[in-house]
């Protein structure tokens, strides 16, 4: 199986999840390419991969700016190549898991859902089956945002993602790779 593990992380939480995904895949004896997204990753051909994990932190309800820029460019590129067509026919055996880490201080998971849905649309347009949407809690690291980690809708989220959160991710990876 060709597996791609794409992620963007500004303050380190999503990177922890992405590295745990990488470990879980390797523990299963599979190879994986892990890539931190930048706007410049246009050369990469994601269609070479039949299983893709894509994740980002949530910033202002959306994925990070490099992800937004990259995904916009990729949609344009694949549309021009004729790979995005009306009705988005499924590509046999192409699957994706989309996930985010989020703090949810104002409206809980509702302020993370747009980020996951946005990222998922690139893969759905390309005919990948979305076999998982994962929401992982991630504390606020910038000094002035630290109070959000104790005063928001999700309560005290300091230390998240925790070791338990990361073990849950490992279990989920094992689960979806069997689908
Ligand atoms: C500038 C900034 C904006 C954020 N905006 C949101 C937001 O709109 N919704 C949310 O649920 N979490 C928000 N968060 C919390 C982050 O999504 C959370 O800490 C996430 O785990 C960060 O991922 P990263 O460490 O991989 O960058 C924000 C954090 C920062 C630093």
Q: Which atom of ligand 1 is nearest to the CA of 9?
A: 26
- pLDDT tens track for 79-107: 999 999 999 999 999 999 999 999 999 99
- Pocket of ligand 1, candidates 17, 101, 103: which has the most ligand atoms within 8 Å of its Cβ, to mutate? 103
Distance from Cα 49 to the centre of ligand 1, integer Å: 28
The structural domains of the chain, ordered by start, are 3-177 (3.40.50.360)
Confidence of residue 38 (pLDDT cuts 50, 70, 90): confident
Task: Report the pLDDT averaged over residues 17-33.
Answer: 97
Determine which residue's CA is closest to atom 4 belonging to ligand 1. 59
What is the average per-residue pLDDT within 118-132?
98
User: What is the pLDDT at residue 41?
Assistant: 67
| E strands, the chain, in order | 3-8, 33-36, 51-57, 95-102, 129-137
Token reading at 76: 């344009």
Task: Kindly give the distance from the C-alpha atom of residue 38 to the centroid of ligand 1, in angstroms, as a whole number.
Answer: 17
Convert the pLDDT of each residue in 46-78 to its tens digit. 999 999 999 999 999 999 999 999 999 999 999
């Amino acid at each position: 199986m060709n597996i791609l593990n794409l992620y963007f992380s500004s303050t380190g939480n999503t990177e922890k999840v992405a590295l745990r995904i990488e470990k879980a895949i390797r523990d299963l004896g599979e190879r994986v390419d892990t890539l931190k997204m930048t706007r410049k990753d246009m050369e990469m051909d994601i269609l070479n991969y039949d299983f893709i994990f894509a994740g980002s932190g949530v910033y202002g309800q959306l994925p990070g700016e490099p992800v937004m820029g990259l995904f916009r460019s990729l949609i344009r590129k694949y549309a021009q190549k004729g790979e995005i067509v009306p009705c988005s026919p499924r590509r046999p055996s192409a699957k994706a898991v989309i996930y985010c880490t989020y703090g949810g201080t104002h409206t809980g998971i509702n302020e993370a859902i747009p980020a996951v849905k946005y990222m998922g649309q690139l893969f759905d347009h390309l005919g990948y089956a979305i076999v998982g949407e994962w929401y992982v809690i991630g504390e606020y690291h910038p000094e002035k945002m630290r109070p959000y980690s104790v005063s928001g809708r999700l309560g005290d989220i300091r230390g998240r993602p925790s070791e338990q959160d990361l073990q849950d991710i490992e279990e989920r990876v094992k689960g979806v790779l069997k689908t």
